[in-house]
Every structure is written in C-alpha cells, then in structure tokens.
C-alpha cells in the first residue's frame, strides 16, 4: 500500500486517460464505422456517427472482388516465416554478443542497425534483377528472405538487450555444474529469455505484416500479401471510402487482435533495453 489516492483524483485521471485514449483510437474506430456505411453515407456531411443504416454489403463486395483468404495466408506465412527465420539466425548472435562481448561488439551492433537506413527504393532495380535471375519473384520464399534481412538488425538488438539483463551469475553456476554450452542455452538461458523472445517475435511480426514496399514490389499474383490487397482499393477512379474502410478493417484486424491479446508480451518487448 503505497499511497492513498483519493477516489476523486482517480476519477479525474480516469476521465483524462479515457478521453485521450479514445481520441488516439478514433481514426481506427471511424474506419471501422465507415466500413458499415453505404458509399453515400460515408462522405455525407455532417458525418453520421452511429445513426445510419448499418450494412455489411461492403464486406461481401470486397470478398467477391478479391480472395481475402489467399492474401491473408500469404501475410501470415511471410510475416511469421521471416520472423522465425530471423530469430533462428539472431538468437545465437545476440547470445554471443551479450555473454561474450568483444571489444567491437557495440560497433557491430550499431553497424547492423545502420543497414536499416538505406532507402529501399534506391536498390529496387538491382534487387528486382537479382530476384528475376534467381526465380524468386512473386514467391513467398523471396519475400521471407527480404523481410528477414530487413528486420534482422531490430531482432538482434531487442534480443541482445534482453539477454544482457539475464544475470551472468546464473550462467556461471550452470557452468560450475558442468553444463555444456548447448545445455546452457537450452535449459538455463531459453526459459529466462522466453518473454523476450516472445515480444521480439510479436514486434517483428507487426513490422513485417505492415511492410508495404518490398511486399508490393516483389510480388504479383501468388505471393501477394494484404498490403497488395489494400493497394487494390485506394482507387484513383471512383470514390469508395466505405469499401476502402472495409478492406482496411479486414487488413488490419488480424494484427490488431493479435496485438491486443498479447499486449503484455508486446509491451515488455518494446523496452529495447530502455529499462535497467
């Protein structure tokens, strides 16, 4: 029992926090509401908030036009695939950096992060040519590879900051007991690092899910994820806010739900070593 907070004050903070929270969330809520309007209502002024003729027609229309499930599966495979592959490569590296740091470890880490600063559009043509020559265009494999490489620095960084928080004495103790390196990792380190790995996974799935440059430019029909699905609704000819809203809702709903259900893990993962 730290402080005795007056109920009045608590109510006040509650009101303030809820107002701000709803304001921040409002654009998404509005998209959601708009997806149930007709096109005419969607652009009506004054805007209708709740009292309009709710319709699910837009969702049927969207589904009849494009195979949502195909794009959805591609998004799932690409975002989880690239994240898992990234974790596989990153865990040993991050472990080594955290527990056997060399003089240049910090520099290597910083250099890795700096590879993320290259503007992707500048290397589109070289990469497109490479993909064409290796037959990777419009394949999930190709997209998984690119997204793995893009997010690898972030994955390593996050894991590194986690692993560093694990007290070294525990490892010493394990070593005293004669645990081998492999056992050390599997039995001692991994259980302690699971929250960290989980949040790294979540954050990177989110980043990969929303990546819209490479996924759009290196895919055509077969590997196109939800970002391509969205690109078929923002139309320069004809105005379809309601359909666009429905498509947007469908594209962001899975990740929104995932993010909400796992927000505890996600929040823990978002520290990036900010807490010591």
Partner 1 sequence: MNLRTFLLGTCSAVALAGLAQAETLTIATVNNGDMIRMQKLTDDFTSKNPDIQLEWVTLEENVLRQRVTTDIATKGGQYDIMTIGTYEVPIWAKQGWLLPLDNLGPDYDVDDLLPAIRSGLTVDGKLYAAPFYGESSMVMYRKDLFEKAGLTMPEAPTWDFIAEAARKITDKDNEIYGICLRGKAGWGENMAFLTATANSFGARWFDENWQPQFDQPEWKKTLDFYVKLMNDAGPPGASSNGFNENLSLFQTGKCGMWIDATVAASFVTNPKESTVADKVGFALAPDTGLGKRGNWLWAWSLAIPAGSQKADAAQKFIAWATGKDYLKLVAEQEGWANVPPGTRTSLYENPEYQKAAPFAKATLESINSADPKNPAVKPVPYVGVQFVAIPEFQGLGTAVGQQFSAALAGQMSVDQALASAQQLTTREMTRAGYIK
Partner 2 sequence: MATLHTRSAARLMIAPSVLLLLAWMIVPLAMTIYFSLLRYNLLMPGMEEFAGLSNYTYFLTDPAFFQAIFNTLAIVLGVLFITVVGGIGLALLLDQPMFGQGIVRILVIAPFLIMPTVAALVWKNMFMNPVNGIFAWLAKLFGLQPFDFLANAPLFSIIIIVAWQWLPFATLILLTALQSLDEEQKEAAQMDGAGASSRFIYLILPHLSRAITVVILIQTIFLLSVFAEILVTTNGGPGTQSTNLTFLVYAQALLQFDVGGASAGGIIAVILANIVAFFLMRMIGKTLEA
Closest CA to 168 of 138, 140, 192, 196: 192
Segment contacting partner 2 (CB under 8 A): 40-48, 55-63, 132-140, 187-195? 40-48
- Using CB under 8 A as the binding rule, the residues of this chain from 185 to 204 that contact partner 2 are none
In terms of CB distance, is 136 or 154 closer to partner 1?
136
Tokens of 130: 């490479």
Query: Site size for partner 1, by CB under 8 A?
Result: 31
**Residue 13: DSSP 8-state:** H
**Cα torsion through 236, 242, 248, 249, rounded to 10:** 180
Segment contacting partner 1 (CB under 8 A): 62-70, 87-95, 197-205, 254-262? 62-70
Binding to partner 1 by residue 258, rule CB under 8 A?
A: no
Q: How far apart are CA 245 and CA 232, in angstroms?
A: 12
Bond into 218 cis (ω within 30): no
Longest dimension (CA), the chain: 74
Q: Residue 238 binds which entry of partner 2, partner 1, none, with Cβ cut-offs from 5 to 8 Å by kind?
A: partner 1
Q: How far apart are CA 235 and CA 276, in angstroms?
A: 48
Segment contacting partner 2 (CB under 8 A): 57-65, 66-74, 134-142, 147-155? 147-155
Q: How far apart are CA 32 and CA 159, in angstroms?
A: 35
Contact mark string toward partner 1, 197..216, x via CB under 8 A: -------------------x
Interface residue list for partner 1 (CB under 8 A): 39-40, 43-45, 64-66, 124-125, 128-129, 132, 137-138, 216-217, 220-222, 224, 228, 231-239
């Amino acid at each position: 029992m730290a402080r005795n907070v007056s109920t009045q004050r608590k109510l006040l903070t509650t009101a303030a926090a809820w107002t701000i929270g709803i304001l921040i969330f409002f654009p998404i809520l509005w998209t959601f509401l708009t997806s149930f309007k007709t096109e005419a209502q969607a652009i009506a002024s004054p805007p209708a908030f709740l009292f309009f003729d709710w319709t699910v027609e837009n969702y049927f229309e969207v589904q009849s036009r494009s195979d949502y499930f195909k794009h959805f599966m591609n998004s799932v495979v690409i975002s989880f695939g690239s994240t898992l592959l990234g974790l596989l490569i990153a865990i040993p590296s991050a472990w080594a950096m955290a527990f056997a740091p060399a003089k240049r470890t910090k520099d290597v880490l910083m250099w890795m992060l700096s590879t993320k600063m290259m503007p992707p559009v500048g290397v589109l043509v070289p990469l497109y040519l490479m993909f064409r020559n290796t037959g990777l265009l419009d394949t999930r494999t190709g997209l998984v590879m690119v997204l793995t490489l893009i997010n690898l620095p972030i994955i390593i960084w996050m894991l590194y900051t986690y692993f560093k928080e694990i007290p070294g004495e525990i490892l010493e103790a394990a070593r005293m007991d004669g645990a081998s390196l492999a056992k050390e990792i599997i039995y001692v380190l991994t259980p302690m690092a699971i929250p960290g790995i989980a949040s790294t996974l979540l954050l990177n799935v989110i980043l990969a899910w929303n990546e819209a440059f490479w996924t759009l430019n290196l895919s055509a029909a077969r590997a196109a994820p939800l970002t391509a699905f969205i690109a078929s609704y923002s139309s320069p000819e004809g105005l379809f806010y309601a359909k666009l809203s429905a498509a947007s809702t469908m594209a962001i709903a899975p990740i929104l739900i995932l993010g909400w259900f796992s927000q505890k893990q996600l929040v823990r993962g978002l520290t990036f070593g900010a807490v010591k």
